[in-house]
Structure 1
């Protein structure tokens, strides 16, 4: 299969170095929605007490923080990310929660760990940003013990993710198509069978793929979209003046108000694809 949205390595490093503060800012308020993905991902990975787990692209700390509660004091959870600004939130939250986490800067295609170092590897919404995704999966397989399990979460198709779709529509009209450069990478693994192929070609056996579809209605008068705007579209917003940002947010609020049903609720559906496999 062709890769529809292979990212540029330098651009991705710059994106995440610039996005760390936004992810940290929203991490606590987004904890409950994030848990709707964290738990199924960790269940699919099979995390149990005493496990040694490596979490890749940990960002502001999940699912590493949740995994640490499952692995318990006899286990070890390493939270890793490509750039230090993204790990700042994870360090802060771990200290605040008294969580036992280790931290590491790590390029997913060249992990700084020995072979067979971990029982589990997780990656939530990170694999799609790696230019050589198959090399990243090969590294997951390398650092896993034989029979150890890796699990990843990626976004399903754009049409199944209403919040991204509608925000993108407003930004396209307000800022122009150039503002959405790089958005395709978010949905890079959403094609039918594509994630399974990546995991298998990277060296994982017994690959299993599940589709997680989450639906909810959110009050239109609540700025529920601000976290996603900040975290996913921060490069596009960087050039806006304060008044320009204010005008954009007013336009977004009006757009979502127009999507509300008779009860004043906006549908905010998510489609997430979970994939897992075992090391040989």
Structure 2
């Protein structure tokens, strides 16, 4: 809403902080944080070209936020809370920095089987490198079941907790390597330690998998996400 102060957790490349800055307008403010400095480099670069008061970006731990109590009207987090080992500490900090009647919203992934991009990547990498003994992709789906994150928000003291399921389908041209960023991010440790030549084999396997689900050169990517939100008393 116009004039509000918004905190975006795990901002990464800058969204939804940049979009939120447009909505709050010159009377509001947006501050984005991320634990990985390199992730924020793109967000900071985009903010310099922002039309209007730009959001601020700071390297910070979601479990130890560098803000005073009651600093924000809204807290957002898109696909970030799954990677925080201490979820309760993160939510405690979220509650601490929110104002009375403020609202927090967290977007997380639904089940792996409902997300085409991740299932196809996981299968392709497994074909080439074998099963992952560390199950590195599992944290992405920590809150894939209904009610899991909602119960933690209630335990943290938020009220009127709601949960919304989103199941859109994106359609992307097969001739573009749309999967590359997700492959590099989710499977970085395995790719780094893979024998020489396996990266090429993985790329070929990924392309083959997506070709198998494409229709007339277009790949349908089924997505399943949840938005879990709650309000301060």
Q: Whole-Å Cα distance in 2 between the matches of residues 180 and 214 of structure 1?
A: 30
C-alpha displacement of 1:240:
4.1
What is residue 116 of structure 2 aligned with on the other side? 162
Query: Partner residue of 1:78?
Result: 31
Deviation of the 1:224 alpha carbon: 2.0
CA distance in 2, matches of 1:179, 1:224: 27
SS in 2 for 1:186: helix
The one of 83, 89, 98 aligned to 2:42: 89
Instruction: State the 1:202 CA deviation.
Output: 1.6
Alpha-carbon distance in structure 1 between the residues aligned to 2:200 and 2:54: 40
Tell me by how many angstroms 1:259 deviates: 2.0
Tell me the TM-score normalized by structure 1: 0.78
Q: Bigger shift: 148-157 or 84-93?
A: 84-93
Uncovered stretches (5+) of structure 1, i.e. residues with no partner: 1-47
1:60 has 2:9 as partner: no
Structure 2, unmatched stretches of 5+, are none
Residue 197 in structure 1 maps to residue 151 in structure 2: yes
Matched pairs, number: 232
Indicate whether 1:238 and 2:192 are aligned: yes
Confirm whether residue 50 of structure 1 aligns to residue 24 of structure 2. no
Secondary structure of 1:238's counterpart equals helix
The structure 2 residue matched to 1:129, chosen from 80, 83, 98, is 83
Residues 246, 96 of structure 1: CA spacing in aligned structure 2 closer, same or farther, 3 A cutoff?
farther
Alignment of 1:246-261 (within 5 A): 246-261=200-215
Q: For residue 73 of structure 1, report the CA deviation from its aligned partner.
A: 1.2
Contact 1:179/1:236 (CA < 8 Å) preserved in 2? no
Deviation, 1:155, is 0.4
Instruction: Encode CA deviations 1:101-148: one digit per residue, 9 max, x unaligned.
Output: 212222111211111111110011111111111221121111110100
Q: 1:148/1:155 Cα in 2 relative to 1: closer, same or farther (>3 Å)?
A: same
Higher share of residues assigned strand: 2
The structure in which a higher percent of residues are helix is: 1
Residue 163 of structure 2 corresponds to which residue in structure 1? Answer: 209
Q: Measure how far apart 1:160 and its partner are.
A: 0.8
Match of 1:149 in 2: 103
Secondary structure at the aligned position of 1:258 is classed as helix
